[in-house]
Amino acid sequence: MRMTPAVILVGILSLLAAITLTVVYWPYSTIDRTPSDIFRQRTVVEAAGRKIYLENGCVYCHSQSIRAFDWGHGADRIAQAGDYIADEPIALGSQRTGVDLSQEGGEHPDDWHIAHFINPRYTRPSSIMPPFEWLGMARIDTLTQYIQSLGFKNADIRMERQRYWKNESIKAYEAGPDANAKWLAEIVPEGWRNLPNPYPTTKASLQRGHVIYQKFCIGCHGPIGDGMGPAQPWIYPPPLNFTLLKGREISGGIIYYQLMNGITGTAMPYFKRDLESQKIWEVGDYIAVYFINQSDANQDPRGIDAAWEP
């Protein structure tokens, strides 16, 4: 065959068609558009919140996708293609400067998110996330509704739990300090309540507890433990005033359990992803010694002879 310009043109075009077919159309046709088991459509407000999310560069710091080996990054569910069928563009994100948000809905109640958007340092003193107070309350509310929908049906289940426990915690708080302390103790499973702090109180352990308190707690519970940190105006029931626990039911085990798991319905977050167990005992002992005057850390010599955990 002679290489006329026409033949060359036809050759180029068929090569191009073959490439387009194999690297564009073929993969495109294999995309599975069946919704995943958790998928549901977004409400109008949630869709508006997603727009705010995209416009403000949240995606540069937050991912919305968990793979099998991402277990340390937050969400507890492996992402599936069917989770994203309504998204255009898809906001997977590639940076994890902040945590993964694919299952963020219902991890915290709304008041925690609002305080956090006003200024992330309120709920997490060492955060490097920028404040979004300038968005104004209306847009912060819209954004919060979007964030609370992340995880679709799973998020809805978690939000239902948050709302149920929010009611319970408000009832207990409004019934006064006695009833509140009793409620806070009774939501901790029996076995944990009688567990004293296994680590002894030492000068070093108290100082470590103090540093942890400043990094994680001070924005809510305040520098003197009276619950008057800068997050306080945004949070209800307000951050606990530790001094009200003096002489009321409290133990190392109760504090440990609440710190590890958080208190669903209240803004009190869980710290099991941030702090190793010894750090949880030590910050608990710090508040017990300085704010509640009621530490059980030195009951018999029972210290665990373990190294400072990494």
- Binding to ligand HEC by residue 252, rule CB under 6 A? no
Q: Using DSSP, state whether 156 is helix, strand or coil.
A: helix
- Residue 196: both structure tokens together: 């004293």
Query: Among residues 229, 247, 241, 235, which one has the least CA distance to residue 287?
Result: 241
Report the residue number, 129 or 228, with the smaller CB distance to ligand HEC: 129
Dihedral sign, Cα of residue 166, residue 167, residue 172, residue 176: positive
Query: Among residues 279, 304, 295, 293, which one has the least CA distance to residue 196?
Result: 295
Instruction: Compute and round to an integer the Cα radius of gyration of the chain.
Output: 25
- Binding to ligand HEC by residue 61, rule CB under 6 A? yes
- Residue 86: both structure tokens together: 């309504």
Stretch in the footprint of ligand HEC (CB under 6 A) among 10-18, 81-89, 128-136, 152-160: 128-136
- Binding to ligand HEC by residue 120, rule CB under 6 A? yes
Give yes or no for a contact between 204 and 282, defined as CB atoms under 8 angstroms apart: no
Residue 3 CA from chain centroid, whole number: 65
Report the residue number, 34 or 194, with the smaller CB distance to ligand HEC: 194
Report the residue number, 83 or 114, with the smaller CB distance to ligand HEC: 114
Give yes or no for a contact between 266 and 277, defined as CB atoms under 8 angstroms apart: no
- Binding to ligand HEC by residue 254, rule CB under 6 A? yes
Least gap, CB of 86 to ligand HEC (angstroms): 18
Whether omega for the bond prior to residue 89 falls within 30 degrees of 0, making it cis, is yes
- Binding to ligand HEC by residue 139, rule CB under 6 A? no
- Binding to ligand HEC by residue 75, rule CB under 6 A? no
Least gap, CB of 133 to ligand HEC (angstroms): 11
- Residue 37: both structure tokens together: 């088991």
Least gap, CB of 5 to ligand HEC (angstroms): 54
Interface pick for ligand HEC out of 93, 105, 109, 219 (rule CB under 6 A): 219
CA dihedral 66, 72, 60, 133 (to 10 degrees): 110
Q: What mask of x and - would describe binding to ligand HEC in positions 159 to 198, judged by CB under 6 A?
A: ----------x---x------xx--x--------------
Report the residue number, 66 or 235, with the smaller CB distance to ligand HEC: 235
What is d(CA 218, CA 122) in angstroms, rounded to the nearest whole number? 8
- Binding to ligand HEC by residue 237, rule CB under 6 A? yes
- Binding to ligand HEC by residue 103, rule CB under 6 A? no
CA dihedral 100, 232, 251, 294 (to 10 degrees): 140
What is d(CA 307, CA 310) in angstroms, rounded to the nearest whole number? 9
What is d(CA 148, CA 51) in angstroms, rounded to the nearest whole number? 14
Stretch in the footprint of ligand HEC (CB under 6 A) among 10-18, 29-37, 127-135, 192-200: 127-135
Stretch in the footprint of ligand HEC (CB under 6 A) among 57-65, 154-162, 200-208, 300-308: 57-65
Residues that bind ligand HEC (CB under 6 A): 53, 56-58, 60-62, 97-99, 101, 104, 107-108, 112, 120, 123-124, 127-130, 132, 143, 147, 169, 173, 180-181, 184, 216-217, 219-221, 231, 235, 237, 239-240, 245, 250, 254-255, 258-259, 263, 266-269, 271, 283, 287
